[in-house]
Amino acid sequence: MSQLNDEMLTPPEVARRLRIKAERVRDFIKCGLLRAINVASPLSTRPRWRIHESDLLAFENSRSGGQRPKQSKRRPQNQDITEYF
């Protein structure tokens, strides 16, 4: 059971790893983008989130981007007008 706790991360630990604020990590959890477990007691009014390492990796993989889309060159809408810069 102690091995399971070694693999669990708190929102501030995840935030440091991703170089974002802990509040943003909690927002990802609330939106359902990042899977987490609430380890607070049932009588607690405040959640205590723990994120499993594999869930963080899945989140990172889902958010990874590919190549930038190529920007198209803008053409003047009216071919009869010449603009000078």
**Per-domain residue ranges of the chain:** 2-58
Choose between 69 and 54: higher pLDDT.
54
Cα–Cα distance list, 65 to 17, 61, 70, 80 (Å): 18, 9, 14, 40
Stated pTM of the model: 0.68
Residue 51: count of CB within 10 angstroms of its CB = 23
Per-residue pLDDT tens digits for 70-79: 776 666 566 6
Per-residue pLDDT tens digits for 7-55: 899 999 999 999 999 999 999 999 999 999 999 999 999 999 999 999 9
